[in-house]
Amino acid sequence: MGFSLAETKELFDLWDETLSGNEKQLLKMLTILENKRAQLEQQKNDIAQAEMEMDTAEARCREALAELQKKKKQQAPAKEEARQTAEN
What is the percentage of the chain residues whose pLDDT exceeds 70? 89
Domain that holds residue 74: 5-11+20-85
d(CA 48, CA 42): 10
Q: 3-7, 16-20, 51-55, 74-78: which has the highest mean pLDDT?
A: 51-55
- CA 53 – CA 60 distance, rounded (Å): 11
Q: What is the mean pLDDT of the chain?
A: 85
The percent of residues in the chain predicted with pLDDT above 90, rounded, is: 43
Question: Does the predicted model carry a pTM greater than 0.85?
Answer: no
Number of domains in the chain: 1
Q: Residue 19 — very low, low, confident or very high, per pLDDT cuts 50/70/90?
A: low
Average pLDDT over residues 61-75: 94
